[in-house]
Amino acid sequence: MLTEDGKHLYVSYDEYHKLIEKLAIKVHHSDWPFDTILCLARGGLRPGDILSRIFNKPLAIMSTSSYRAEAGTVQGKLDLARFITTPQGEIAGRVLLVDDLADTGHTLHAVIDMLKSSYPAITELRTAVIWVKGMSAFTPDYSVELLPTNPWIHQPFESYDAMGVEQLLAKWKI
């Protein structure tokens, strides 16, 4: 649900999963025969996992981080993992790169540049995200929603960003 001022988008678990399913349909309709899904952790983990299951493709994972300050609401220095975790040796062939959103586009540009220079066995690379913000300098191959007002997206699992074990124990009265 987008707030009236357009500054916040609140997404329920049901809506989040529906959006991932719509993303899967867009990828399917492209008739592109990819070999592997590479998700960017953390935001791309959930969409990547679901797409991996739907398409029955191996899931590779690359860790990235840029939103760490203020419970994950302030973008900081971009960190890219040096290695990719994949069940089939080194990542190769046609790769679908999955993240949750193209915010500024900085992360996707940096990852693609790194993949092109460090993984020559990747023969073709396409990108898929749920959301693209209007301010993004990156246009993914597949996306579900364009957000021209650049709202902050409140994803359903974000409550865990500010929850520690002590709060969890108190919640469950353990």
Q: What is the pLDDT of residues 55-109, one digit of tens each?
A: 999 999 999 877 544 444 455 578 887 789 888 788 999 999 999 999 999 999 9
Q: Residue 174 has what pLDDT?
A: 84
pLDDT at 75: 55
Residue pLDDT, tens place only, 136-174: 999 999 999 999 999 999 999 988 888 899 999 999 988
Of 19 and 42, which is predicted with more confidence? 19
**Which CATH number is correct for 8-171, 3.90.1150.10, 3.40.50.2020, 3.40.50.2300, 3.40.30.10?**
3.40.50.2020
Cβ–Cβ < 8 Å for 19, 130: yes
Q: Where are the beta strands (DSSP E) in the chain?
A: 8-10, 36-41, 59-68, 74-80, 93-98, 101-102, 122-128, 131-133, 145-147, 152-154
Give me the pLDDT at residue 113, please: 95
pTM, 2 dp: 0.89
Beta bridge partners of 62: 40
**Cα–Cα distance, 41 to 28 (Å, whole number):** 23
Q: Which two tokens stand for residue 84?
A: 């990719």
Q: Work out the number of other CB atoms within 10 angstroms of the CB of residue 52.
A: 18
Contact 62, 111 (CB under 8 A): yes
Taken in order 47, 161, 157, 7, the sign of the CA dihedral is: negative
Is residue 111 within 8 A of residue 97, CB to CB? The reply is yes
pLDDT given at position 5:
77
| Residues linked to residue 40 through DSSP beta bridges, in sequence order | 62
Whole-number pLDDT of residue 76: 59
- Output the pLDDT for position 71: 43
Q: For residue 87, what pLDDT is reported?
A: 82
Identify the residue with better confidence: 69 or 51: 51
